[in-house]
A = this chain, B = another copy of it.
Amino acid sequence: MLSKATGLGKASLYHYFPQGKQGMAKAVMDYIASNFEEAVLRFLQDASTPEERILLMCQALGDFYAHGHNNCFLAMMSLGEADNLFHDQVKQQLEMWIDTVTQVLIEGGIEPQLARERSQDAIIKIQGTLILVRILNEPAIFTRILNDMPRKLISS
């Protein structure tokens, strides 16, 4: 697939990625992590109110996951052989996401432990919804969950 997409032969790809398959996979991971930060996490570091930041993140999530049609790359990489090679990196990315949301909720006046649980709950829902939508082919579920998310995160 990479060969076809780039127009390069296999050997040329191995020239750019001396670490072979693992190097190519890491490049994809880094690329997606960078995208996610730019397209989603960025809103959590805005100057606006915590409520507004949460709302913006949820909207951004809809686009990032193509309203349920994209899979989560982190979830993919936590399976099979990839898990052996990238577990630490995947874990770190996910923890960063949870921590960032937690911090915003704390700034919004929510108790630290509750903030952490709500943050976990939100990401659990994203992940679970992507699975349901993928299997059932009902994008409306993704929309429903994402619409409810800001309120569930910030309500007192």
Contact = CB atoms under 8 A, between A and B. Distances in A.
Contacts of A141: 120, 124
A2 interface: no
Contacts of A90: 135
Nearest to A129: B124
A134 B84 CA distance: 12
Interface stretch (A16-24, A50-58, A75-83): A75-83
A94 B141 CA distance: 14
Contacts of A110: none
A142 to B, nearest CB: 10
A91 B127 contact: no
Contact of A128 (B87, B117, B128, B134): B128
